[in-house]
Structure 1
């Protein structure tokens, strides 16, 4: 496997770049805090519903709105990272994310649903940082270690777990507006830490091509759309559950805001742990095999969850297993990206694939809200659709893996 096909530089396992662990850690920190901000509305959806009298559709739209910009914005963010590097992009986007957090606080404080939607849309900026980290980390690590390294960076999606667990508690301890101020200050502090502590890899070279042609070139690569579809299912499933699970647990099991948030945090933590494991396993047995395990498991667990297993043990185990399978898949997809995307296009490809993953998380909450059976407290239709989607992605993975083995150029 050549470096020209898999990423920047010519590092080897015996001569790792000095400082790569520190830079990976800083990227993980920035990713986690921005993901906390990105998911700040979901854990409070029950509160907004009660205070504003929202319908199931209005509630699901509010939860899903930040995901939209956080998804589409990754396309531009990935392309800009190829040009300006991870240090600058992480600093700017982490700091800027503090603004919509404060705007959401204002909208919630005055009880305006339209403003919550508008500012939630802008809040999506915080969700674009994923497209910075993959090319940034890729440039620091040799091909044989990129699956684990990008998987470990991806564990920053645990910011959703932090948000689910701490945001409702912060509101109870400190108040609604102070909670948002605390998170905004944390974003600015982390941005300063990143600026002074982070460095781009010495092997990274800026790609100064205009953004539009870069996006067009990445869009012509088959690997871009193949991985986009698979990431839409795996990461999209994770995002959908992370944002909508507090609402789901309230509707189906009648948990209060804090109880639902705690259990959602457990779901997110399981996925976070599984992501670097998925990358590590992909380095050893291949990302295609890991994806097959992930998708088959997710399909089965969707049907299990649809039966409404009893709390706490049965339901908790079901959701944790779902999270583990989805987490494995997210780690595997970007190992495949690192192996197959051209070095100069990693950021741009990552942006498109990451956008697809985010969009994969945008639509399920809308579907869940639209298909919710209020009389039966059931989401069976939505979960059945998830099972069908996972099975379709499994078949696609099997076909793609066989094609790649017969023609490694894909």
Structure 2
């Protein structure tokens, strides 16, 4: 069987002789490993705090630094993908990004820990390369599904580390390493795995179905923008890019924030145990296995029915559902009803993420990487802003509650603090849900020209004809 050299029109996962399908698997696994390493230290934070003597401020700062590093890396990596291709960008990101992961196992001071956390955040840019690579490997009829599935499966790395890293630590301890320093060995192992994945990426993928960027440029088969700065400037001037920037902040950014605060909220509001709350939040994260894919699938389906406008309409609808579900959840006082709306929120927010990147590849075909980078960074900016909003509301409410009940005993103070935190976060979720709903309406402003619609139809016609000939 001859190796496929054009874009894939189906997501046939067993066809490993197909370069697009092989790339899909490798880029999804690379993304998973990057997120696994990025959040790998999270399960070990109690050990890190004890080992390095971190203050509460230093602990929070490490989280903020990791997110900050990702924002800048995502903005940069998209532009680099447009210029050098995803294969080289991912190879360098994996190999160089593995270095701070490994070094984290050797830190001796809080400052060293914070510096490593900042640079580890750069591997969060892996999302942009994955979306770019699948965008140029798959035809318009299936690109949304491919993007959403690779992103969803890769995102699992951020939840799987809750189970995987402790297992690695347990294996390390079985070889005689002390429990309290097992986290160091675990991070080194995670870093080595990421570095090896970089080697795999280099040798087993290529930039496009037709070949690598360098080869295509040399043969004159790849259109280039003479003035790269002007090309990037046109991306920055495109209002649709910034709407999608906000949209991804209102979907992925809100998902990160809600799941980051949900453990405590479930305990404070419904009185469940920490272990049960943690398991519930993990189960919602695992919905990425299928929920993002659904968003991309329906984006593609609406695209076939209504063209590019159809993709935007589906994004509007699912984003509105996300906002309504979070708003309703914030008002529930019953654990049973709360779980129903939390499940619906989890499903809709992940579908909205998938639907966003069923639109991104059609904004500007010559700058998919730059646009993916900007939109991807929007997710981290949204997470940062939402987290700061909830933290400020909760801090004020908890401080007031403690001051009011300071003479009632420790148990009463803890109960008052928990109630105050619950109320503050609840009202915060309500406001955020409203913001998401408003953002949904704003997406209707995303327009495509008749020429854009025609170009997509022509591209799909060519790809389907090629697939039929095969």
Give 1:243 shift.
Answer: 4.4
The match for 2:431 is 385
RMSD between superposed Cα atoms in Å: 3.3
1:134 aligns with 2:131: yes
Task: Tell me the distance in 2 between the aligned counterparts of 1:157 and 1:209.
Answer: 36
1:2-401 equivalent positions in 2, closer than 5 A: 11=7, 13=9, 18-45=18-45, 52=53, 54-55=55-56, 59-107=59-107, 110=108, 112=110, 114-155=111-152, 156-171=154-169, 174=172, 175-203=182-210, 205=222, 207=224, 212-246=229-263, 255-256=273-274, 261-285=278-302, 286-307=310-331, 315-339=338-362, 341-372=363-394, 373-374=397-398, 375=417, 376=419, 377-378=421-422, 379-397=425-443, 399-400=444-445
Instruction: Give yes or no for contact 1:91–1:195 (8 Å, CA) kept in 2.
Output: yes
SS at match of 1:361: helix
Cα pair distance change 1:173/1:262, threshold 3 Å: farther
Task: Tell me the distance in 2 between the aligned counterparts of 1:262 and 1:46.
Answer: 18
Give 1:81 shift.
Answer: 0.8
Task: Tell me the distance in 1 between the aligned counterparts of 2:23 and 2:437.
Answer: 37
Task: Tell me the distance in 2 between the aligned counterparts of 1:309 and 1:171.
Answer: 38
Task: Tell me the distance in 2 between the aligned counterparts of 1:36 and 1:309.
Answer: 34
**Superimposed CA distance per residue, residues 248-269 of structure 1 (whole angstroms, 9 cap, x where no aligned partner):** 566665754x665543331211
Cα pair distance change 1:405/1:80, threshold 3 Å: closer
Task: Tell me the distance in 1 between the aligned counterparts of 2:248 and 2:449.
Answer: 21
Task: Tell me the distance in 1 between the aligned counterparts of 2:171 and 2:246.
Answer: 41
**Superimposed CA distance per residue, residues 290-339 of structure 1 (whole angstroms, 9 cap, x where no aligned partner):** 3233322322332344346565x655544332221111011111111122
Instruction: Give yes or no for contact 2:74–2:377 (8 Å, CA) kept in 1.
Output: yes
Cα pair distance change 1:33/1:196, threshold 3 Å: same
Q: Please identify the structure whose Cα radius of gyration is greater.
A: 2
**Superimposed CA distance per residue, residues 65-108 of structure 1 (whole angstroms, 9 cap, x where no aligned partner):** 3122212211110111111111111111112222222333444x
Task: Tell me the distance in 2 between the aligned counterparts of 1:111 and 1:304.
Answer: 45
Cα pair distance change 1:249/1:167, threshold 3 Å: farther
Give 1:54 shift.
Answer: 4.7
The match for 2:305 is none
Runs of 5+ unmatched residues, structure 1: 1-8
Instruction: Give yes or no for contact 1:43–1:163 (8 Å, CA) kept in 2.
Output: yes
Give the paired residue count: 392
Instruction: Give yes or no for contact 2:78–2:372 (8 Å, CA) kept in 1.
Output: yes
The match for 1:5 is none
TM-score (normalizing by structure 2): 0.74
Instruction: Give yes or no for contact 2:41–2:187 (8 Å, CA) kept in 1.
Output: no
Task: Tell me the distance in 1 between the aligned counterparts of 2:384 and 2:331.
Answer: 24
Task: Tell me the distance in 2 between the aligned counterparts of 1:338 and 1:34.
Answer: 23
Instruction: Give yes or no for contact 2:248–2:379 (8 Å, CA) kept in 1.
Output: yes
